[in-house]
Chains A and B, each alone.
Chain A
Amino acid sequence: MSFIEKIIPLQLDILKEIGNIGAGHAATALSAILNRKIDMIVPNVRVVSFDEMMEMAGGAEQVVASIFLRIVGDASGSMFFILSLPVAEYFIQQMTGDETFSIDSTPYTDLALSCLQELGNILSGSYLTSLSDFTQLNLYPSVPSLSIDMVGATISYGLLELSQVSDTAIVIDTVLEKDQLFAESIDGHFFLLPDPESFDIIFSSLGVTTND
């Protein structure tokens, strides 16, 4: 039986706390960059099928801006920061000071892309640093990679490690919201997908014995 079916509520709570701390720090960083209040919804930890995971990010065919990075070090995993296109557009406008930037006009300028990539870098960096402090594990991010494409096409990369072991994923999902600026309720998603063998490492670093 795989670790996913054996997971107990206490462990899910711990993962939720990881999402809370990590995304909390990231939200603070984002708030500082944009000079705006950013709200965060209490994270969700769910055991989902791959198709359900696509649905969480808006559906396999939905086009989104996603920043993907691999976590390496004592524990490994994948992390996504996913933005809907209007929000990505807004962030680029705010960061470059160019109000005329439109996400609909392709190809994108290098500055716009680099801007989003840097945003992803800062946010995932603060997420990981806090996670690293919390668990006392050495965790390093790879250079983040940006893609503006269908959810299905991007998220499947984060599922490759998992897919060798299982058909379900444990996903730590935190939603960031900016107050009242957008009609859409979902503005940004943090997805943390630890690799299968990393769960034991994370839990034991926090003094939680894993069930055998």
Chain B
Amino acid sequence: MTELLQVKVVKVGIADMNIVKPPYSIRTSGLGSCVGVVIYDEKKEIAGLAHVMLPDSSLAKSGHINVAKFADTAVKELVQRLVKEGARLIFLKAKMAGGAQIFQFASRGDFMRIGPRNVEAVRKELADLHIHVVAEDVGGNSGRTIEFNSKDCMLNIRTVNKGTKNI
């Protein structure tokens, strides 16, 4: 009996993406400077999550590109897959979390600002596709684990020492 009540979870690893429909929820763990972006169609009850690591695919130095790794390619690919699965482009909304600064470094290397850069890149890509960001929990200096429920479209965020919240 209890099995029926349990929400099933699809896990997304680093530089990865996936799509779910109820009763599944979708989850990614240990977001630091990475950004977890959820794009969903509320009425069609379909949601996708990408765990983005770097802001732009132009950073790639090798020929083969893992589209889920970069903000620009990940958002495009996720939207394409959602639409293919029946989501309607104009009704898509987004929620995002992550982009923290875990280590405080004295050096000014570009990679030390990677969190905020990832957030900016995801935001820009969503804006280009006219996808509204409904809620976000970004920045700070703590890691996050997020889980999105495709039924009620709530994003649950767990932060070390700061408990959980829903946005």
Residues of A within 8 A of B (CB): 2, 49-51, 54, 59-61, 63, 68, 70, 106, 142-143, 145, 147-154, 156-157, 159-161, 163-167, 196
Contact = CB atoms under 8 A, between A and B. Distances in A.
Given A51-B14, A63-B160, A164-B54, A149 B102 contact: yes
A151 B107 CA distance: 23
A164 B160 CA distance: 28
Nearest to A167: B66
Interface in B103-131: 103-107, 111, 114
B61 to A, nearest CB: 5
B111 A163 contact: no
B138 interface: no
Interface string B60-95: 111000100100000000000000000000000000
A63 B102 CA distance: 13
Contacts of B15: 50, 163, 167
Interface string B1-26: 00000000000011110000000000
Contacts of B33: 153, 156-157, 160
Interface in B125-151: 142-145
B96 interface: no
Contact of B111 (A2, A149, A161): A161
Given A60-B30, A142-B107, A150 B54 contact: no
A151 B105 CA distance: 18
A166 B62 contact: yes
B32 A154 contact: yes
A163 B62 CA distance: 10
B30 A150 contact: yes
B100 interface: yes
A63 B34 CA distance: 17
B62 A60 contact: no
Contact of B102 (A106, A142, A154, A167): A154
A164 B61 contact: yes
A59 B145 CA distance: 12
Nearest to A62: B30
B37 interface: no
